[in-house]
Homo-oligomer: A and B are copies of this chain.
Amino acid sequence: MATHGARGRSGGRPTLEEVAARAGVGRGTVSRVINGSPRVSDATRAAVEAAVAELGYVPNTAARALAANRTDAIALVVPEPETRFFAEPYFSDMLKGVGAALSDTEMQLLLIFAGSDRERARLAQYLAAHRVDGVLLVSVHADDPLPDLLAQLEIPAVISGPRSAAETLPSVDSDNYGGARQAVEHLLSRGRSRVAHITGRLDVYGAQRRVDGYREAMSDAGLGVDEGLIEAGDFTEEGGHRAMEVLLERHPDIDAVFAASDVTAAGARRALREAGRRIPEDVALVGYDDSAIARHMEPPLTSVRQPIEEMGRRMIDLLLTEVADRRPLASRGLDRRQMVLATELVSRSSS
């Protein structure tokens, strides 16, 4: 927990100036050492470091922020109420990845919820004050004004799932299309052929891509696409339940279901049980997310795993590059940096 020897005589914290005096050098030199500039001789550097240690010098962040016009902080903005944040493992995994990537850095992470209008107003104020160098945006809906606000304020930002194929912000996403294909191909390889799909909220781009993946996997397998086998859900348990009921009504001979999330799959499972269908004997079931729910379901649920922690790490990488790069607007925006990470099918007994 570090030493902190004598302080400036007046009892306050030591300043750069005091360190400089102690080391017998100028203010600029100390600043260079603190900031790791290479343009300092080894001897000088050692002298300064000694003085820093003796005085227990810690840079004053406010002064640095004022002079350098940066804050060394970035925000993870969650446009959801806190409750959902804690309920969904997605966020905690993301946070873990982000935290890990940031721990080698001087950067400070701020967690900001913007679920209510009140909170959003506060956030707008906060961003306008430029209290962070960059923003990580997770779980953003198609019509959210936040990305535009950030663009207008010229604050670097990275988004976790692109809002559309034409996303302008740098983004990190998992391969929703490929993941969906994995799921469907898995079901087909198990000998199923009447595979239904319960979608997610279709205003979320990722959900659309999963539908695309489902469609093309079916069609590539020569089974054609029966639109009657697709039913819209909304990522909730209730939505999954309702959609499954509709599907069973329409196609009683369904022998497999690919649900757009594990929670949706849980709803579907309930409807299947209520209809007397056995899993996996009568109907095979595959979810998406590979969350705790999947592992604890009865029977355990086959699911498509997204590397969420890895996504968090990549988002930080992108953002830090973006923050560092802040060149005079010229070359920016052209080289769109969109990153897509592979998914992995985790096979369990539900399929």
Q: A13 within 8 Å of B by Cβ?
A: yes
Q: A1 within 8 Å of B by Cβ?
A: yes
CA distance A303 to B71 in the complex (A): 46
CA distance A156 to B128 in the complex (A): 29
Q: A110 within 8 Å of B by Cβ?
A: yes
Are B99 and A1 interface neighbours, CB within 8 A? no
Contact code string A113-141 (vs B, CB < 8 Å = 1, else 0) = 10000111110111011110000000000
Residues of B within 8 A of A71 (CB): 62
| Interface residue from B4, B66, B89, B126 paired with A128 (Cβ < 8 Å) | B4
* Residue on B nearest A88 in the bound complex, by CB: B86
Are A129 and B61 interface neighbours, CB within 8 A? yes
Q: A60 within 8 Å of B by Cβ?
A: yes
CA distance A126 to B109 in the complex (A): 12
Are A1 and B121 interface neighbours, CB within 8 A? yes
Given A86-B92, A129-B58, A124-B2 contact (CB < 8 Å): yes
Q: A63 within 8 Å of B by Cβ?
A: yes
| Interface residue from B2, B58, B118, B149 paired with A103 (Cβ < 8 Å) | B118
* Residue on B nearest A91 in the bound complex, by CB: B86
CB proximity to B under 8 Å, residues A73-128? 82-83, 86, 89, 92, 95-96, 99, 103, 108, 110-111, 113, 118-122, 124-126, 128
Could you tell me which A residues sit within 8 Å of B by CB distance? 1-2, 4, 13, 56, 58-63, 65-66, 71, 82-83, 86, 89, 92, 95-96, 99, 103, 108, 110-111, 113, 118-122, 124-126, 128-131, 145, 149
CA distance A140 to B106 in the complex (A): 26
Given A60-B130, A82-B92, A82-B99, 8 new contacts (CB under 8 A): A56-B128, A58-B129, A59-B129, A62-B71, A63-B66, A66-B66, A86-B92, A103-B122
Are B1 and A58 interface neighbours, CB within 8 A? no
Q: How far is the CB of A106 from chain B (nearest CB, A)?
A: 10
CA distance A120 to B1 in the complex (A): 8
Q: Indicate the member of A62, A86, A103, A111 with the most B CB atoms within 10 Å.
A: A62
Are A113 and B129 interface neighbours, CB within 8 A? no
Residues of B within 8 A of A119 (CB): 103
